[in-house]
Amino acid sequence: MSKAICFLLLIAAGGSLFAQDAKPKHSPFGCSEGAVSVDLDKEPALRFRLLDRYPEGPNSYSKGHEFSFTGDSPFPYIKVFLTATVPEASVGTSSEAQLTLYAQTAESSADYHSGRNTQWWKLESTAGSDSDARRGSITLTFEASQIAGCFNGGGASDCSFADVVLATPNNEVPLISVGFTKNLGGANAANWVASRLLLDFRSSPPRVAITADCSYNEGGGACTAYDSQQMQRTNLRCDWKGDARDFLCAEESAPEPGGHSDFYLFGDNDALLRTDEIASFSDALLKFKTADTKPPLRLGASAQFPGSTS
């Protein structure tokens, strides 16, 4: 008997939690809360492989996560399908399910609606066996118990093991965010990783432009709870800047106030200083000497002290 069963699932596009037309304050690509560590990978070991025939998985479903884009893209029409392979044995909190993602692309409205002359792509991991198994973005694995509600006639909201949403506030830029969570287990503490994939359909073949793995832990007892409270936390927030054609991101220590680092996600352009920041220590001294009043001054994230090489 097979060691695993393949379970095909689509998350409802109109669900209230991960609705396609939802407009969050920040891009869904980021960390939803303060993380113990944030791992950004601009060259992820993931690729889209063009299939030579219609895949068997999504064939039994008529709906997927549908997107249409008005900007400059070889794929103005895109559907994203998800499948999951789960273990046949009993599923515990640290059991893993394997995520598979298909994308159907079309170059015209007629092709999209007729289903003819469309391309099918499968997302694959190219990471070696020695890769970091904790990072769900590399292994495309997530917590198997999250799909428990998909059985026994569970509703669409019970099957939301991943979310597929626009990464920007508009449909001009063909960037899609996919997110899922992996449980690392633990005796007295909860440890998990929330992974985000930024799918880029601005060129052919499409690619995964960047991934983010946000690691968390929470104490489960008196001692571990205290230790968890003392750990440095980081928020990752990204906002699309249309004039720069890039995300302006901020890594901020939490809880605020704290240190921060502002940067562009794709390019190497320097982020502008915030209104109450000074670019360097020497500039801060000059302003302090010449100012009529002496308000608090803050060094920007890229500021350097004399003699520093960072």
Is the pLDDT score of 183 beyond 70? yes
Please determine, for residue 309, whether its predicted confidence score (pLDDT) is greater than 60: no
Q: What is the pLDDT of residues 266-305, one digit of tens each?
A: 988 877 766 666 666 566 666 666 666 555 555 555 544 4
What amino acid is encoded at 241 in this protein? Answer: K
Q: Residue 189's pLDDT band (boundaries 50, 70, 90)?
A: low
Mean pLDDT of 6-30: 52
pTM (2 d.p.)? 0.77
Confidence band, pLDDT 50/70/90 cuts, at residue 176: very high
Out of 55-69, 239-253, 292-306, the most confident range is: 239-253
pLDDT beyond 80 at 208: yes
Q: What is the pLDDT of residue 6?
A: 40
Share of residues in the chain with pLDDT > 70 (%): 63
Would the pLDDT of 165 be above 80?
yes
